[in-house]
Amino acid sequence: MPTPTRPPTARLPSRMLPKLRRDLLTWYNAHRRDLPWRRTRDPYRIWVSEVMLQQTQVATVIPFYHRFLQSFPDLGALARADIQVVLKHWEGLGYYRRAHHLHRAARKLVDSGGGRVPDRHRAFKALPGVGDYIANAVMSIAFDQPWAVVDGNVKRVLARLGGIGDPVNQAAAHRVFQQTADCLLDRRCPGTFNQALMELGALVCTPRRPNCPECPWQAPCFARQNDATAQFPTRIRRAPVPKRAMVAGVVCHRGQVLVVQRPSEGLLAGLWEFPGGRRRERETGSAACGRLLRESTGLSVTAERKLIRVNHAYTHFKIVLDLFLCRKAGGRVRLDGPQAFRWIRPAELNTLPFTGACKKTFAQLPLERLCRR
Ligand code: SF4
* CB atoms closer than 10 angstroms to residue 7: 8
Q: Is 252 in the pocket of ligand 1 (CB under 6 A)?
A: no
pLDDT at 1: 60
Q: Is 75 in the pocket of ligand 1 (CB under 6 A)?
A: no
Q: Is 60 in the pocket of ligand 1 (CB under 6 A)?
A: no
Q: How far is the CA of 145 from the centre of ligand 1 (A)?
A: 27
What is the percent of the chain where pLDDT is above 90? 86
Q: Which amino acid is at 3?
A: T
Q: How far is the CA of 162 from the centre of ligand 1 (A)?
A: 10
Q: How far is the CA of 191 from the centre of ligand 1 (A)?
A: 22
Q: How far is the CA of 135 from the centre of ligand 1 (A)?
A: 27
Mutate to test the pocket of ligand 1, among 198, 203, 221 (most ligand atoms within 8 A of CB): 221
Q: Which atom belonging to ligand 1 lies closest to the Cα atom of 204?
A: 8
Q: Which residues contact 235 (CB under 8 A, 6 or more apart)?
A: 167, 168, 169
pLDDT band for 10, please (50, 70, 90 cuts).
low
| pLDDT(224) > 80 | yes
Q: List, in sequence order, every residue forming a beta bridge with 258; answer none if it has no partner.
A: 343
Q: Is 100 in the pocket of ligand 1 (CB under 6 A)?
A: no
Q: Which amino acid is at 47?
A: W
By CB neighbour count within 10 A (0-12 exposed, 13-18 middle, 19+ buried), where does 61 fall? buried
At 94-139, the pLDDT tens digits run 899 999 999 999 999 999 978 999 999 999 999 999 999 999 999 9
Q: Which atom belonging to ligand 1 lies closest to the Cα atom of 229?
A: 7
pLDDT at 308: 95
At 248-261, the pLDDT tens digits run 999 999 899 999 99
At 301-315, the pLDDT tens digits run 999 999 999 999 988
Which stretch of DSSP H or E encloses residue 318?
A: strand 318-330
Phi and psi of 351, rounded to 5°?
A: -85, -10
pLDDT at 372: 80
Which stretch of DSSP H or E encloses residue 201?
A: helix 190-203
Residue 50 annotated as catalytic = yes
